[in-house]
Amino acid sequence: MKVKIAKSAGFCFGVEHAVMIANQIALEHKSDDARKLFMLGNIVHNETVIADLVSKGFEIIEKADDATPDSIVIIRAHGITPDQRQILVSKGCEVVDCTCPFVDKIHKIVAKAASEGRNVIVTGTKGHPEVEGICGEACDVKVDVISSVSEVQSLNIEPQNTILISQTTFSTQIFDEICAIVKNKIANNLIFDTICCTTEERQKEALSLAIECDVVFVIGSSHSSNTNKLFDICSSRCDKTYLIENVERFHQLLSQGILRGVELVGITAGASTPEANILEVVRYMNENEVMTNQEQTDINFGEYIDSIPQLKRNAIVKGVITSADADYVYVDVRDKSEGKIPRKEFESDPDFDIDKAIADRLEVSVMVKSIRNSDQGKEIVLSKSQIDYEKNKKAVIDAYENKTPITVKITGVVRDGVIGNYCGVDIYIHRTQIKMGEVTDLDAWKGQTLEILVTKVDTEKHRLRASGSHRVILSSERREKAEALWDSIEEGKHYNGFVRSLPDFGAFVDIGGVDGLVHITELSWTRIKKPSDVLAIGDEIDVYVKSFDRETKKISLGYKKEEDDPYYNIEERIPVGSIIKGTVVRLTNFGAFVELEPDLDALCHVSEISSVRLQQPSDVLSVGMEITAKVIDVKKDARRISISIKEVAPIDPVESNDSEDDIYSIYESDEKETPSEE
């Protein structure tokens, strides 16, 4: 009996991403009992995965209203309605959006159509969370949800004013049939095939399996829309199609002898089915067949099971290094033909001396990658790096189990994160786990080294899949620093911190695991418009504690120093009676403001400018004019300095140029022009 497994079986990208993020959040907040973790609906239709997340601290809620304020809420791949999102925001929740990119694209299409007043037809399952989220984008227009050809025929479609979209997991066959009916009613550019490409491929593979196989097992939950569609597709072409929700159901079917006389079994799985569940079914089938028939069966498990004897592909053997050329290192594996290892495998280990290994006839463990017979004999291709990988893979697994940090080098950038390499083992680090704040440029991290904690390992496949987090380590260090700080904090104590953020009202400064606030009025002795006029994010600054509250965990910090105050020691620096020079910087009706030093102005009252009475200071002064004056009053507490110009060198108005003779001459001229009375 042979077993054929669909290549696309198991977790889709959206579900796998959501589960990964949920596990990382649970680990990061493991010791944070004060903040609740919620899933807005099950993020995956799998009881085992959900139970594991619940055991790690997550609670499941069905409505946004059920979330408590300031909690962390993870949105599943299905997405939510705008109204639900607004409720979470209004409650101050931290929303972790794991909406599938394909679903998010549908939301944008529907929202745009609704804004243009277009009606919406959705092919999908009524009441499904994804469909409800999509419909929530079109509250002000007509929305019809259909799942069959008969339903679309009964619709009153407004030509040129209706769009057609689909649930991502809807049947491609039914969608095509519906499109054929509406193509004369809805413009081509208003029909959107939004079925996920993975879903389409999964359904095509399922149909192919059903046609080819004697028995088909569909592994997944009966509550999963895409799993049910796979079951329907397979059932339409193979009468012996069975839905496997759990191992007990599978055991029950096998006990009924459904595999007797069967030559080919097909296996597929829904998008919410972990690979472990698929592997469990495959392994059980293998064990069952071996125990029943007591003979070697011809089962093809692809990447899941490799049962290959020595000097077969993937066998691990020992050999002696005998020689080398420009391309290969040759190894005696006690066969008629020598095996060869690509020389490039040794490039990653600068300490390995090939010439010394040949001279010493060094024995190494290698893996058989391929064996090909030719007229010249066997060509045996070996790999040493694969064995080294397995050894280092174990080190990564041990680090995960023992929660031991490891150091990785960032070697690659992917869409949502980076790849860290640990001795040949790749570890995925999501962009949210690289540092505490937001990461905008992933490429900038390439080539850097990071200490990480391995947060997830998956050893079910032939190659290890691991995820890690540097943020978890930073969070742990931050908590330890915070505890130490709260134990020793006191008013007036100085700290060297760095600026984390700059809201309009001040600057938040990390002083060692805890953020304190420097109010905008504490940033400068002079008035500023915004905190960024003085500081920038990342600046290292010296601050001191003005006040703190252990219960609310709030700290008020001071930044400006007394010695930087323009009025510091002012009574000694500019005493009463001293003669000073300054520049007029502003004129008012009551006097002139004169700059003595940067950010230090003095007032000369209008009565202290001239020896005569002035209507206003501008009669004799102008902005930019340099003057000499006497200090007549200094009040540090009132932050005021008074000066007198007239006590040093009064500035009087310039007299008019018109003389008395000119006035009389004008009068005489007027008198001559007056006619006589005669």
CA distance 283 to 220: 17
Q: For residue 458, give every residue at least 6 positions away whose Cβ sits within 8 Å of its Cβ, in sequence order, or none.
A: 275, 464, 465, 466
CA distance 625 to 159: 77
Query: Nearest to residue 27, comparing CAs of 7, 54, 6, 57?
Result: 57
Query: Nearest to residue 242, comparing CAs of 268, 272, 203, 260?
Result: 268
How far out from the chain centre does Cα 151 lie? 41
**What residue ranges in 132-184 does DSSP mark as E strands?**
143-146, 162-166
Q: What angle do CA 42, 44, 47 make, to 5 degrees?
A: 85
Backbone angles phi, psi at 142, to 5 degrees: -75, 130
The alpha carbon dihedral of 444, 449, 452, 456 has a sign of positive
CA distance 144 to 499: 52
Query: Nearest to residue 558, comparing CAs of 589, 516, 595?
Result: 516
The alpha carbon dihedral of 574, 577, 578, 580 has a sign of positive
Question: Which structure tokens are listed for 647?
Answer: 């006590």
Helix axes 101-115, 13-28, angle to 10 degrees: 110
Out of 16, 130, 338, 608, the active site residue is 130
CA distance 474 to 476: 5
Number of Cβ atoms within 10 Å of the Cβ of 248: 9
The b/e string for 328-364 (b: 16+ C-beta within 10 A; e otherwise) is bbbbbbeeeebbbbbeebbeeeeeeeeeebbeeebeb
Count how many residues are written for the chain: 678
Q: Within the chain, what is the greatest distance between any pair of CA atoms?
A: 159
Question: Which structure tokens are listed for 519?
Answer: 């109010």
CA distance 282 to 296: 16
Write the burial class of residue 519 (CB in 10 Å: 0-12 exposed, 13-18 middle, 19+ buried): middle
DSSP letter assigned to residue 188: G
Question: Which structure tokens are listed for 64?
Answer: 């946004």
Q: For residue 312, give every residue at least 6 positions away whose Cβ sits within 8 Å of its Cβ, in sequence order, or none.
A: 368, 371
How far out from the chain centre does Cα 247 lie? 36
Active site residue 540: no
DSSP letter assigned to residue 618: G
Task: List C-alpha distances in Å: 226 to 9, 206, 271, 606.
Answer: 11, 12, 7, 86
Reduced to 3 states, what is the DSSP secondary structure of residue 217?
Answer: strand
The answer to whether 462 and 275 have CB atoms below 8 angstroms apart is: no
The answer to whether 470 and 451 have CB atoms below 8 angstroms apart is: yes
- List, by residue number, the catalytic residues: 130
